[in-house]
């Protein structure tokens, strides 16, 4: 089974999430489409890596069919607001209850066991992380 490779980015200055259209590793930049209400069209915008946080699609979906990306927070009956991250070639999850990283297991194994849903992400929903402390 092949996984669709795609990314999204958190624009640090504008504090918003966008879907990445292209990545240029030579220029260290991304391009994304932005809706311009004035002319009712989509315009291509460019941002450099320093101004964004780039997140990869895990290839997996939550119980509602929503795509799961790095830095998403997922919740299910037993666990709340678990962080998805990519490390050492695989997607894993960690429960941010303590200051030390406590890796529970790989994301796909966890999703097989529990019916989890995305509850937010670490950029737009920092308050959800605080609930775990």
pLDDT value for 106: 79
> Tell me, what's the pLDDT at 22?
96
Which pLDDT does position 128 carry in this prediction? 83
Main-chain phi, psi angles of 24, to 5 degrees:
-115, 105
Q: How many CA atoms lie within 13 A of 44 on its CB side?
A: 6
Across the chain, mean pLDDT equals 87
Confidence of residue 104 (pLDDT cuts 50, 70, 90): low
Domain boundaries 57-131, CATH class: mainly beta
For the four alpha carbons of 80, 111, 68 and 86, in that order, the dihedral sign comes to: positive
Pair type for strands 41-48 and 52-61: unpaired
Distance in angstroms (rounded) separating the CA atoms of residues 55 and 19: 10
User: What residue spans define the domains of the chain?
Assistant: 7-52, 57-131
pLDDT at 33: 94
Q: What is the pLDDT of residues 24-35, one digit of tens each?
A: 999 999 999 998
d(CA 133, CA 11): 26
Q: What is the pTM of this model?
A: 0.86
* Whether the predicted pLDDT of 49 surpasses 60: yes
Mapping DSSP to helix (H, G, I), strand (E, B) and coil, where does residue 110 land? Answer: helix
Strands 117-121 and 67-69: unpaired
């Amino acid at each position: 089974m092949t996984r669709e490779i795609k990314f999204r980015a958190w624009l640090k200055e504008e504090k918003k999430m966008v879907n990445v259209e292209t990545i240029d590793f030579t220029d260290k930049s991304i391009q994304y489409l932005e809706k311009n209400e004035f002319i009712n069209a989509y315009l291509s915008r460019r941002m450099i890596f320093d101004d964004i946080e780039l997140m990869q699609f895990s290839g997996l979906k939550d119980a509602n069919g929503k795509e799961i990306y790095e830095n998403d927070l997922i919740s299910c009956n037993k666990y709340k607001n678990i962080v998805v991250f990519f490390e050492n070639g695989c997607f894993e999850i960690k429960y941010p209850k303590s200051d030390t990283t406590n890796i529970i297991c790989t994301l796909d194994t966890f999703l097989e066991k529990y019916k989890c849903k995305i509850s937010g992400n670490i950029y737009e929903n920092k308050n959800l992380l605080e609930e775990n402390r």
